[in-house]
């Protein structure tokens, strides 16, 4: 009788261990699906180019610099395409957003015109940053100046489906200015 009890206890322990192992594996799978790591290849088009970097460890954006032979002056209400001397290889399922640097925008009125600009994974040419001057004075862009930031984004799989009626036809209201100014 004692042998039967020990046998049942052993089987119960094994089943319990397998159940716990299954939970651990599922939770790790969930963590891996929610956490991603991407390797992005960057090619310098000139030896004196600086690779984009984060100013602080937990920053979202990587600062990217101008790579120019001569200073570029951006007059008020003027738009210029600024070269960076870098090409990039973005993995499928990702994009890179080119965003304004808050300091340039607040202090000088310089911003990325199509912010956020998108670099698709298929683009392999030189990264150019479209800068606009909304400020009242000329702004000088110098070689090596941090002009924008790059933010890597994972893209969801999305399917666009044509329909004659929405599955939830309730009008949610809204539109431009619907919540006030």
For the domain 41-154, what is the CATH superfamily, name and number? Answer: Deoxyuridine triphosphatase (dUTPase) (2.70.40.10)
Would the pLDDT of 178 be above 70?
A: no
Residue 160 Cα to chain centre, angstroms: 22
**In this predicted model, what pLDDT tens digit does every residue of 62-91 receive, in sequence order?**
999 999 999 999 999 999 999 999 999 999
Would the pLDDT of 118 be above 90?
A: yes
Would the pLDDT of 122 be above 90?
A: yes
What would the mean pLDDT of 122-139 be, rounded to a whole number?
A: 96
| Domain limits, the chain | 1-35, 41-154
Which residue is associated with the tokens 């690779």?
Answer: 51
pLDDT recorded at residue 70: 97
Q: Cα(73)–Cα(134) distance, rounded to whole angstroms?
A: 13
Q: Cα(67)–Cα(128) distance, rounded to whole angstroms?
A: 10
Would the pLDDT of 35 be above 60?
A: no
pLDDT recorded at residue 129: 97
Residue among 164, 161, 162, 153 nearest 117 (CA):
153
- What are the DSSP E strand ranges found in 91-161? 94-99, 110-112, 117-119, 126-133, 139-141, 146-154
Q: Cα(25)–Cα(11) distance, rounded to whole angstroms?
A: 21
């Amino acid at each position: 009788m004692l042998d039967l009890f020990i046998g049942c206890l052993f089987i119960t322990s094994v089943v319990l261990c397998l159940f716990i192992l299954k939970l651990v594996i599922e939770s790790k799978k969930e963590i891996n699906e929610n956490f991603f790591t991407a390797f992005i290849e960057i090619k310098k088009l000139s030896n004196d180019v600086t690779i984009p970097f984060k100013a602080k460890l937990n920053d979202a954006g990587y600062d990217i610099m101008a790579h120019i032979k001569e200073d570029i002056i951006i007059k008020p209400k003027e738009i210029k395409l600024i070269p960076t001397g870098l090409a990039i290889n973005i993995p499928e399922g990702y994009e890179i957003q080119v965003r304004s640097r808050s300091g340039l925008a607040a202090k000088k009125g310089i911003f990325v015109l199509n912010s956020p600009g998108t670099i698709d994974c298929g683009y392999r040419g030189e990264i150019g940053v479209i800068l606009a001057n909304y400020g009242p004075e000329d702004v000088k862009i110098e070689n090596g100046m941090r002009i924008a930031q790059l933010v890597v984004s994972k893209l969801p799989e999305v399917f666009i489906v044509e329909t004659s009626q929405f599955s939830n036809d309730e009008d949610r209201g809204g539109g431009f200015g619907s919540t006030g100014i």
